[in-house]
Amino acid sequence: MHGGIAARAEIQKLVPLAEIVQIKSLPKAQRDKIRSKFKEIEGLTQRQAARILVIAQNLIFKV
C-alpha cells in the first residue's frame, strides 16, 4: 500500500498538478478519463485518491 506522499507522487505522474487542482471543474467526460487512470496505480486506495483530489470517495472508481 502507498503512503500519502508516495500516492500523491504516483497520481502526479499520471495527471499534472494543475489538472489535479481543477478536476472538480472539468467536464464529466474529461474527469472520467482522468479518474480511470487512477485504477492503474497499484495499491492506491479509493480513500487516498479522494483525499489527494479533494473529491468524494464514491466518485473515484465509479468510472
Residues 27, 21: Cα–Cα separation, whole Å: 14
Q: Which residue has the cell 504516483?
A: 10
- Pick from 44, 55, 36: nearest CA to 5: 44
Residues 5-49 pLDDT 10s: 787 888 788 777 666 777 778 888 887 887 788 778 888 888 888
pTM for this prediction: 0.62
Range of the domain at 17: 4-59
Cβ-proximal residues to 44 (8 Å cutoff; 6+ apart), any chain: 2, 7, 10, 11, 38
**Pair 48, 7: CB distance under 8 Å:** yes
Total domain count for the chain?
Answer: 1
